[in-house]
A and B are shown apart, each in its own frame.
Chain A
Amino acid sequence: MATVMVNRPVVAAPSQSGGTVTGTGTLLRFMLRRDRIRFPAWTLGLGLLMGYFATALETFVESPADLEGLTAFSGSPAGALFGGPGFGFDDLTIERFLAGQYGLYVAIGAGLMGLLTVVRHTRAEERSGRAELIRANVVGRHAQLTAALVLVATMATVVAILIGGLMASRGYDLGGSLLFGASVGAVALVFAGVAAVTVQLSEYPRAASSTAGALLGAAFVLRGLGDMAAVQGSGASWLSWLSPVGWSQQTAPYVHDRWWPLAISLAVAVIAAAGGYALATRRDFGAGLVPPRPGPARAVAWLDGPLALAFRLHRASLIGWSVGLLAAGLAYGSFTEPLLDGFTDAPEDMVAIMGGAENLLDGYLGTMGLTMALAVGVYAVLAMQTLRAEETEGRAESVLATSVSRSAWIGSHLAVTAVGVPWLLLVAGAGMGVGAAVSTGDAGSFGGLLLGHVAHTPAVWLLLAAAAVLYAVAPRVLPLIWVVLGYGLIVGYFAPILEIPASAVWLSPFAHVGEHPLEEVSVVAVLVLTVLAAVTAQVARLVFRRDVVGRT
């Protein structure tokens, strides 16, 4: 396809670089035009998130004693798991805490920005057929990928400068601030490179972004386990060095201020992108690397109604999530024993402050239950987004033209997802339980872990039902549901640290069931949330009376 330029009678000759990137500049301008909302939303959003953390923390920390209190949590293994290796936490300052504890979440956001942007402008375009129109013009084979990568590099630079500038403007050390900003931007670059590879593998944009997203999740888990070991001073702390997020955290802004770990990030980003280019030349336009095989000529007997269809459509994603959550559960669970070991070595009065080793373990296991619930929340929201795709891509129309009512259509997708929620929590809980049992040699916590995970089901159901209402009102407002999930995450992890008032905590659906085994499961909350979810789902079915084609 790169040969389209051969007979071009225009004086402005194509670039000398072989022409595979011809048109990159034009495409980049076009992408900037398409992303005129997304670009500032991602970059400013990440900047504002960091600004919020900084403001909230500065408001909260009024005396050195307050900082001491922070160390107690963040210096603990559980704090390391959800924060970082805690560089300089023995002599804590606000900026060290911001970079060491909250930097992780901004970095994860940057990673998502990188991978989603690349998928959106490469495989998603190819899948939709729009890329074919583009490539029929004077556009090189690699122009789209190149332009997308340049776009992400620009976004990453803007994020780095915004965050660095923001931190420096608060009076923190300039060098450290710039390094911190750059470490966040580096994660975006690495995962843009990762996405450059994953978009070559499958024909589906969703498969590309979920593969890259799973790797981002793995990076989060690996560095968590490594950091936990590092904080305890024993175990596999080298795990952090396997994670792109870990490289960014190892820069230790405001403490060691080392730039060299970012060289690893940059090198990996470049190598991954090169791999993407290499794979791209080995496949056909529009195709993945695996050629399609013929399938069954007839549908299996059970595929005979809207519910069966919904299950068939969600099946692949359910299998993927089950495998992912099982692996994550096993990994986190297997760290129970090192966690306990680390604590027996700790000074006795410190253990006492934390409420004893027993409570610390329960706190860790309870937090993991919440974490898995939030992850399953992501599954539920993504499942609702497939409904949106069914509608906008015209398949809902064909189904609704048969004897399937609107209410049955949305209801069956809701039902399949609603059953998927406790199933996934069960799988995650079982993974944690087995991991913990193998690690400690004691299966006593297994039942409690299962309960602690599955108990979050009604909270996720409520989230799912709320997403369904948003979708039923208008598909384009569905993404608003991420706000609820993000709010649940911030409240769940940071309410004690950020001193979020109880009334605001109360608003999160995830704040009521209780983080078993640390807390008791509130039966009342379970019942109330279940009823609320059922009522909300019913509202969604009733609201879903609008036109189903021709709207967005």
Chain B
Amino acid sequence: MTTAIDIHHIDKHFGRIKALDGLDLQVETGTVHGFLGPNGAGKSTTIRILLGLLRADRGRVRLLGGDPWADAVRLHRRLAYVPGDVELWPNLTGGEAIDLFARLRGGTDPVRRDELCQRFDLDPRKKGRTYSKGNRQKVALIAALASDVDLLLLDEPTAGLDPLMEAVFQECIREACAAGRTVLLSSHILAQVEVLADQISIIRQGQIVETGSLTDLRHLTRTSVDAIVDQSAAALATLAGVHGLQDTDGHVRFEVDSDHLAVVIRRLGELGVRGLTVRPPTLEQLLLRHYGDEPARHGAVA
């Protein structure tokens, strides 16, 4: 597999504010890569550096084998970008904007464009100023998805879309992936990334704090266990990897590191389990561990 995006240790300052702090990111060709992080973590800055709109202060960036700052024009023919906050020309219609973007990128498939307009339920005859945020977003999405490109850079692309359109979007991304396209999907909406992404990188304060497949990341996390047992669960507390054990009249709640799950479950079984709920970690929990009060820092896996 080749690498579509290869960012090596980049820094970016805006004045005295450090937006990116030694960020590393690799995206394999043909995969959907989720780029997760809270607002202000540096997602958009990273994507704009990939577009050559901003220049990194330090570090190395390769995009589709080229330098995004120096070869911007050549590379942009092979990618399409959807910003998180789409701004259109107030006096151009949505249809005109779609055609314009496609032509500026080097051509589009008119059949596919019309099909996408239909699927996204967009009236292309409206002027840019009359569109709601969601509809402006659709214009940029249709322009990007109708283009025959290798790479899609999507910066929180579904902000403002309703759930129905979100489903259409997911369908389109799966099709793009099936067609061999690479997708970098930035979001703070965890469910969206969970559904689509092959790989996930989590960014916080300008650094990648986790990267890997969802399964990889779950290795690093705890599983929540909620059980009703006959005997005292005090013995569990002494086991390695068990956190926050609560025992109220036989109702036991605790979290366990995934690495120690096997041992703990075996011991739990010996306590006479009458009821058991085990939940996998959600991405919310992943983020909570990174952005919550725990100062824990993990090395990258991948």
Interface of chain B, main secondary structure: mixed
Interface of chain A, main secondary structure: loop
Interface string of B71-84 (1 = CB under 8 A from A): 01110110111010
Pick from A305, A306, A403: contact of B77, CB under 8 Å: A403
CB <8 Å contact, A403 and B76: yes
Q: Smallest CB-CB separation from A300: which chain B residue?
A: B96
> Is B8's CB within 8 Å of the partner chain A?
no
**Contact A303 B73, CB 8 Å, known A295-B127, A297-B95:** no
Taking the closest CB of chain A, its distance from the CB of B278, in whole angstroms, is 45
CB <8 Å contact, B101 and A398: yes
Taking the closest CB of chain A, its distance from the CB of B148, in whole angstroms, is 13
Pick from A203, A306, A398, A402: contact of B87, CB under 8 Å: A398
Interface-central residue, A304, A402, A549, by most chain B CB under 10 Å: A402
Find chain B residues with CB under 8 A from A316 CB: 91
Find chain B residues with CB under 8 A from A296 CB: 93, 95-96, 125
Taking the closest CB of chain A, its distance from the CB of B263, in whole angstroms, is 50
Find chain A residues with CB under 8 A from B81 CB: 398, 401
CB <8 Å contact, A398 and B93: no
CB <8 Å contact, A402 and B93: no
CB <8 Å contact, B87 and A394: yes
CB <8 Å contact, A299 and B83: no
Pick from A303, A401, A550: contact of B100, CB under 8 Å: A303
CA separation between A203 and B125, bound complex, in Å? 18
> Is B134's CB within 8 Å of the partner chain A?
no
Pick from B76, B85, B105, B126: contact of A295, CB under 8 Å: B126
CB <8 Å contact, A295 and B125: yes
CB <8 Å contact, B51 and A313: no
Q: In the complex, which residues 81-121 of chain B have their Cβ closer than 8 Å to any Cβ of chain A? A: 81, 83, 85-93, 95-101, 103-106
> Is A404's CB within 8 Å of the partner chain B?
yes
Q: Smallest CB-CB separation from B87: which chain A residue?
A: A394
**Contact A547 B55, CB 8 Å, known A204-B90, A398-B140, A404-B104:** yes
> Is B260's CB within 8 Å of the partner chain A?
no
Q: Smallest CB-CB separation from A550: which chain B residue?
A: B14
Interface string of B7-40 (1 = CB under 8 A from A): 0000000100000000000000000000000000
> Is A312's CB within 8 Å of the partner chain B?
yes
Pick from B53, B86, B96, B129: contact of A203, CB under 8 Å: B129
Interface string of A287-323 (1 = CB under 8 A from B): 0000010111111000111100100110010000000
> Is B124's CB within 8 Å of the partner chain A?
yes
CB <8 Å contact, B99 and A401: no
Find chain A residues with CB under 8 A from B104 CB: 304-306, 309, 399, 402-404
CA separation between A393 and B83, bound complex, in Å? 13
CB <8 Å contact, A304 and B103: yes
> Is B285's CB within 8 Å of the partner chain A?
no
Pick from B55, B76, B103: contact of A303, CB under 8 Å: B103
Find chain B residues with CB under 8 A from A393 CB: 87
CB <8 Å contact, B83 and A402: no
**Contact A550 B89, CB 8 Å, known A297-B95, A299-B95, A397-B83:** no
CB <8 Å contact, B83 and A398: yes
> Is B48's CB within 8 Å of the partner chain A?
yes
CB <8 Å contact, A403 and B130: no
Q: Smallest CB-CB separation from A295: which chain B residue?
A: B93
CB <8 Å contact, A299 and B91: no
> Is B54's CB within 8 Å of the partner chain A?
yes
CB <8 Å contact, A292 and B127: yes
CA separation between A306 and B88, bound complex, in Å? 15
Interface string of B126-153 (1 = CB under 8 A from A): 1101100000000010000000000001
CA separation between A404 and B75, bound complex, in Å? 11
CA separation between A399 and B48, bound complex, in Å? 13
CB <8 Å contact, A312 and B14: no
> Is A548's CB within 8 Å of the partner chain B?
yes
CA separation between A369 and B93, bound complex, in Å? 39
Find chain B residues with CB under 8 A from A405 CB: 72-73
CB <8 Å contact, A394 and B85: yes
Taking the closest CB of chain A, its distance from the CB of B130, in whole angstroms, is 5
CA separation between A395 and B91, bound complex, in Å? 13
**Contact A550 B126, CB 8 Å, known A298-B95, A298-B99:** no
Pick from A204, A306, A549: contact of B53, CB under 8 Å: A549
Q: Smallest CB-CB separation from A400: which chain B residue?
A: B53
Find chain A residues with CB under 8 A from B92 CB: 295, 299, 312
CA separation between A203 and B97, bound complex, in Å? 20
Taking the closest CB of chain A, its distance from the CB of B284, in whole angstroms, is 29
CA separation between A395 and B153, bound complex, in Å? 17
**Contact A549 B48, CB 8 Å, known A294-B125, A402-B101:** yes
**Contact A395 B100, CB 8 Å, known A403-B76, A405-B73, A549-B48:** no
CB <8 Å contact, B125 and A403: no
Taking the closest CB of chain A, its distance from the CB of B296, in whole angstroms, is 31
CA separation between A404 and B101, bound complex, in Å? 10
Q: In the complex, which residues 193-208 of chain A have their Cβ closer than 8 Å to any Cβ of chain B? A: 203-204
Taking the closest CB of chain B, its distance from the CB of A319, in whole angstroms, is 13
Find chain B residues with CB under 8 A from A292 CB: 126-127, 129-130
Taking the closest CB of chain B, its distance from the CB of A302, in whole angstroms, is 10
Q: In the complex, which residues 153-191 of chain A have their Cβ closer than 8 Å to any Cβ of chain B? A: none
CA separation between A20 and B17, bound complex, in Å? 43
Interface string of A235-257 (1 = CB under 8 A from B): 00000000000000000000000
Taking the closest CB of chain B, its distance from the CB of A316, in whole angstroms, is 7
A404-B104, A548-B54 given; name 18 further pairs at CB < 8 Å: A203-B90, A292-B130, A294-B93, A294-B126, A294-B127, A295-B125, A297-B93, A297-B125, A304-B104, A309-B104, A316-B91, A394-B86, A398-B101, A401-B76, A403-B74, A403-B104, A403-B105, A404-B76
Minimum-distance CB pairs A-B, first 6: A299-B99, A402-B104, A394-B87, A295-B93, A401-B81, A294-B125
| A residues apposed to B, CB below 8 Å | 203-204, 292, 294-299, 303-306, 309, 312-313, 316, 393-395, 397-406, 408, 547-550
- List 16 A-B pairs, Cβ < 8 Å: A292-B129, A294-B93, A294-B123, A297-B124, A297-B125, A316-B91, A395-B88, A398-B81, A398-B87, A400-B52, A401-B81, A403-B73, A403-B77, A403-B104, A404-B76, A547-B53
